[in-house]
């Protein structure tokens, strides 16, 4: 996504491209501008069309959400703001430039040849995505001549379609969200990084015109650039990408790389590749944008459905049959992008288990990797837009996804937990091993044949015997028929074959990130014939370059160049590719000293004029040896390059005779020294073998630790599950506590509203609870709870209260008395048993009803009666 403020041509004026094209152009390649809008989209559509010149050379198609049952007056309304003819699109209508077409409500629009097609609505309106459908069809029809625009609207319709347009080389644009009445639709496309330019609707027409003008200039009027300049610029670009992102694109297919680079050049208004590279060097953010552009993230759920059906119906059940006792399978999905392929594999595996219901336990751990860290972060979330409903059946959507915010879907938690997402470079980073399934779909087609021949054996190395390799519709194992065989009934799922490990590893002796470029005559037009310069260079390498070997720090041979048979030979016994064991007699000691000096020096060390003897002991030739430690950083770090250069001896040296006495004595001493050195070397070799054995033991220990780690991971998952259960129980308890607090408050208010003094006592006549009115009789405060009632001062003339309460506890008979107070008042004291909800007596309830007025009236009445008598 490139905001308009970052694009130099954002404010250019509208213009025509190489003059107007004639109306009613029916030829292939008619440029089309697709406009998608929803709620609040009428005003921005008018703003855009009002800024388009009448002869722009494009056809314009407006796709908007509106009800199919209602007649549309949109064509009549749009005709008021543009001079181009505006018509409603019907089936079979030809594609013509300088016209505006309004898509019919509800139907799906596409292309058939050079005409439009219209399909009737299918399914409920909530599940249709007409903008996505049209943009996808437009990407197939117009490709690099297509433009897609997302304007105001709700939902995320159009996001997937814009991504398809962008991948096809077209231009994608979105309305500035702050200017949209409803911003979810353009914001969704921007967040998905499917948009090249973000701008106001009135500015978009000028940018579309300038974009097409630059395409025309580059196709016809651009000044030619020398192939050497192009090659140097491309090399510098790869170096910038490698330094800033750590990714090497030198082994990607040149046509794919150049198409993506050309796209960025058009957006940046760079006429030549060297100009664009200079722009990149001055603007590091452009390196990141190009990096995102080169990472082709086109993916979807269950892409190429027959392959997934075959996996679920045949391949995976057969894999389960091979392990009747159960198994923990491992799978690797390289280049997973935003995770759809990995989740598809997890869903299919779960469906197989659900259908077969095996008695043994099977699990699948999926490792999903990608070079794009942002895509990995999105994959980890397991959150997808509503558009996935077009790729996933309703049953799968119901079983494996849960609705989330804004119409999106979230993958089921157990499926998300079975996948580990990580950032990885499949070209240079170590692979996962001991795999049962490797799903690499539509990745190899972007690599050169040289890189493909390295990755296919690497996949063989990573898989277990009889494991599955799943490739894309355009991928094959190539010439490696001895490594993989297709399963019956499919050409995309392969079974790993047993092969000679030495032969397999010979395909990738060292995994070196090489930034060398393939020979090219002109960028973008790779020659089908072999380059003459390459043939000459290969001839020179064969005829004149010295024999050489590449060693590691222990002297093990990693790579052999040229003919080294005169200097090295395999040692008898067990195969040993160490140079100290393979060096011929007369070279071992010199090589040992040479290698030691090379590891201690930053310069090349050499030994010249070393005399070689024939079988009769006569001097035969002279040998020059060189050794050089490779730089500490880079793909060859930690290795040593040794070269052998043999040349003839001068005649005088061949005829030279050694003086017998002194020379014989020196030769004897030299032979003794060599024997001692050989003994030391044998000891070193024995120590090395012991170290190898110890290393194997450590590897075994490491495997045990890995097994323990897997068990700990399982325990962690169980603990997480238990924690989830505890969290659920805690939530329920919290809900009960809240309900109890509410009920408690209701009861307190109820008791206070009765205006009756009440005291609750337990079985020991300790205060359990009291109402506010009870404080008028007993001097109670909040801290008196759990104190005996007899300890509390009161105004009652009722010393028998505790005794009566004990009697109630014993007999369960309610006690009621009229009791005076010391201040002249009267209360009816009622003592009742306290029954729990389980009908258990657990104390008493004492209520005090004020009857002072009744007693006073009774006294007055009695006095009146006595007076009358």
Task: Convert the pLDDT of each residue in 148-174 to its tens digit.
Answer: 999 988 878 888 888 888 877 788 999
Closest CA to 252 of 277, 234, 229: 234
Residue 421 near residue 432 (C-beta atoms within 8 A): no
pLDDT at residue 365, rounded to an integer: 92
b or e along 641-654 (b: 16 or more beta carbons within 10 Å of the residue's beta carbon)?
Answer: bbbbeeeebeeeee
Q: Which residues contact 76 (CB under 8 A, 6 or more apart)?
A: 86
pLDDT at residue 226, rounded to an integer: 53
Q: What length does the chain have?
A: 869
Cα separation, 248 vs 225, whole angstroms? 24
Q: How many Cα atoms are found within 13 Å in the side-chain-facing hemisphere of 689?
A: 7
User: What CA dihedral angle connects 449, 454, 457 and 460, to 10 degrees?
Assistant: -100
**Neighbour count for residue 859 (Cβ, 10 Å):** 10
Gyration radius of the chain's alpha carbons: 43
pLDDT at residue 668, rounded to an integer: 63
Partners of 551 in beta bridges: 557, 640
- Angle between helix 273-282 and 284-294 (nearest 10): 120
pLDDT at residue 651, rounded to an integer: 61
DSSP-H helix ranges across 754-821: 801-811
Cα separation, 819 vs 533, whole angstroms? 124
Give the tokens for residue 439. 């799903």
Secondary structure percentages of the chain, helix, strand, coil, to 5: 45, 20, 35
pLDDT at residue 293, rounded to an integer: 79
Q: Strands 757-761 and 767-770, how do they pair?
A: antiparallel
Q: Which residues of the chain have pLDDT under 50?
A: 1-28, 126, 219-225, 509-530, 654-659
Helix or strand or coil: residue 661? helix
Give the tokens for residue 784. 């008196």
Cα separation, 372 vs 386, whole angstroms? 23
CA angle 723, 728, 731 (to 5 degrees): 125
Q: What's CA 585's distance to the chain center, in Å?
A: 56
Residue 341 near residue 439 (C-beta atoms within 8 A): yes
> What residues are labeled active site?
38, 66, 157
Q: Which long-range contacts (CB under 8 A, 24 or more apart) does 807-815 make?
A: 808/832, 808/833, 808/844, 809/763, 809/833, 809/841, 809/843, 809/844, 812/841
pLDDT at residue 352, rounded to an integer: 93
pLDDT at residue 33, rounded to an integer: 93
Q: What are phi and psi of 143, to 5 degrees?
A: 60, -120
Cα separation, 462 vs 474, whole angstroms? 22
Partners of 81 in beta bridges: none
Beta strands in 339-426 (DSSP E): 362-370, 383-384, 401-403, 409-411, 419-423
- C-alpha distances out from residue 416 to 361, 367, 379, 394, 867, Å: 19, 11, 9, 20, 96
The helix or strand, by DSSP H or E, that contains position 316, with its residue range, turns out to be helix 316-321
Helix or strand or coil: residue 112? strand
pLDDT at residue 445, rounded to an integer: 82
Q: What are phi and psi of 530, to 5 degrees?
A: -70, 140
Global pTM?
A: 0.49
pLDDT at residue 362, rounded to an integer: 92
pLDDT at residue 595, rounded to an integer: 87
pLDDT at residue 261, rounded to an integer: 84
Give the tokens for residue 169. 């080389």
pLDDT at residue 539, rounded to an integer: 67
pLDDT at residue 3, rounded to an integer: 37
Q: What's CA 25's distance to the chain center, in Å?
A: 44
Q: What are phi and psi of 99, to 5 degrees?
A: -135, 155
The helix or strand, by DSSP H or E, that contains position 320, with its residue range, turns out to be helix 316-321
């Amino acid at each position: 996504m490139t905001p308009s403020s970052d694009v130099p041509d954002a404010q250019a004026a509208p213009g025509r491209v190489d003059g107007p094209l004639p109306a009613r152009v029916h030829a292939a390649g008619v440029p089309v501008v697709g406009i998608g809008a929803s709620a609040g989209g009428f005003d921005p559509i008018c703003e855009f069309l009002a800024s388009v010149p009448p002869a722009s050379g494009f056809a314009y198609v407006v796709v908007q959400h509106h009800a199919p049952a209602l007649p549309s007056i949109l064509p009549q309304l749009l005709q008021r703001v543009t001079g181009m003819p505006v018509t409603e699109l019907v089936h079979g209508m030809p594609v013509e430039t300088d016209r505006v077409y309004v898509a019919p409500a509800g139907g799906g629009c596409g292309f058939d040849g050079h005409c439009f097609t219209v399909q009737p609505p299918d399914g409920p309106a909530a599940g249709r995505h007409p903008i996505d459908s049209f943009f996808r069809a437009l990407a197939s029809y117009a490709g690099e001549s297509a433009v897609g625009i997302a304007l105001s609207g709700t939902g995320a319709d159009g996001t997937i379609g814009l991504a398809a347009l962008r991948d096809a080389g077209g231009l994608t644009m979105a309305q500035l969200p702050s200017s949209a009445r409803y911003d979810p639709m353009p914001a969704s496309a921007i967040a998905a990084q499917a948009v090249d330019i973000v701008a106001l609707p009135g500015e978009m027409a000028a940018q579309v015109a300038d974009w097409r003008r630059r395409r025309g200039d580059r196709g016809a009027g651009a000044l030619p650039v020398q192939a050497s300049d192009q090659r140097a610029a491309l090399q510098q670009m790869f170096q910038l990408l490698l330094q800033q992102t750590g990714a090497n694109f030198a082994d990607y297919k040149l046509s794919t790389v150049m198409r993506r680079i050309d796209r960025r050049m058009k957006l940046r208004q760079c006429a030549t590749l060297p100009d664009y590279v200079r722009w990149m060097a001055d603007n590091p953010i452009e390196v990141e944008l190009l990096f995102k552009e080169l990472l082709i993230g086109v993916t979807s759920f269950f892409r190429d459905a027959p392959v997934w059906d075959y996996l679920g119906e045949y391949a995976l059940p057969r894999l389960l049959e091979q392990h009747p006792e159960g198994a923990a399978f491992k799978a690797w999905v390289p280049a997973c992008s935003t995770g759809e392929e990995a989740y598809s594999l997890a869903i299919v595996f779960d469906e197989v288990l659900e259908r077969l219901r095996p008695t043994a336990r099977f699990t699948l751990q999926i490792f999903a990797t990608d070079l794009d860290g942002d895509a990995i972060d999105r994959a980890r979330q397991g959150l997808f837009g509503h558009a996935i409903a077009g790729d996933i059946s309703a049953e799968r959507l119901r079983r494996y996804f849960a609705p989330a915010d804004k119409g999106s879907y979230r993958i089921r938690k157990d499926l998300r937990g079975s996948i580990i997402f990580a950032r990885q470079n499949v070209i240079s980073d170590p692979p996962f091993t001991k795999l049962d399934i490797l799903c690499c779909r539509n990745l190899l087609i972007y690599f050169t044949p040289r890189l493909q021949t390295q990755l296919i054996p690497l996949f063989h190395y990573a898989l277990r015997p009889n494991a599955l390799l799943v490739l894309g519709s355009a991928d094959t194992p190539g010439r490696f028929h001895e490594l993989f065989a297709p399963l019956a009934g499919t050409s995309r799922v392969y079974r790993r074959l047993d092969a000679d490990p030495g032969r397999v590893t010979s395909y990738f002796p060292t995994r070196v990130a090489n930034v060398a470029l393939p020979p090219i005559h002109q960028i973008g037009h790779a020659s089908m014939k072999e380059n003459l310069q390459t043939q000459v260079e290969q001839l020179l390498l064969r005829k004149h370059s010295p024999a050489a070997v590449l060693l590691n720090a222990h002297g093990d041979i990693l790579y052999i160049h040229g003919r080294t048979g005169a200097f090295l030979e395999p040692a008898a016994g067990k195969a040993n590719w160490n140079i100290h064991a393979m060096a011929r007699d007369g070279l071992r000691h010199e090589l040992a000293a040479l290698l030691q000096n090379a590891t201690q020096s930053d310069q090349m060390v050499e030994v010249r004029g070393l005399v070689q003897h024939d079988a009769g002991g006569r001097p035969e030739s002279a040998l020059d040896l060189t050794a050089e430690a490779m730089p500490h950083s880079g793909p060859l770090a930690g290795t040593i390059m040794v070269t052998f250069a043999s040349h003839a001896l001068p005649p005088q040296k061949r005829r030279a005779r050694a003086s017998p006495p002194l020379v014989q004595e020196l030769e004897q001493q030299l032979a003794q020294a060599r024997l001692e050195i050989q003994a030391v070397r044998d000891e070193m070799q024995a120590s090395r073998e012991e170290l190898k054995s110890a290393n194997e033991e450590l590897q075994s220990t490491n495997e045990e630790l890995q097994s323990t780690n897997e068990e700990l991971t399982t325990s962690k998952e169980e603990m997480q599950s238990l924690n989830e259960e505890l969290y659920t129980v805690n939530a329920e308890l919290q809900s009960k506590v809240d309900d109890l607090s509410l009920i408690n408050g209701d009861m307190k208010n109820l008791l206070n509203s009765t205006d009756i003094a009440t005291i609750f006592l337990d079985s020991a006549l300790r205060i359990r609870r009291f109402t506010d009115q009870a404080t008028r009789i007993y001097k109670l405060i909040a801290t008196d709870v759990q104190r005996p009632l007899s300890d509390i001062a009161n105004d009652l003339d009722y010393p028998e209260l505790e005794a009566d309460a004990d009697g109630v506890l014993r007999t369960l008979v309610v006690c009621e008395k009229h009791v005076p107070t010391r201040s002249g008042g009267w209360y009816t004291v009622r003592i009742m048993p306290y029954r729990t909800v389980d009908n258990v007596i657990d104390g008493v309830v004492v209520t005090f009803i004020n009857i002072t007025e009744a007693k006073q009236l009774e006294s007055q009445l009695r006095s009146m009666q006595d007076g009358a008598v």
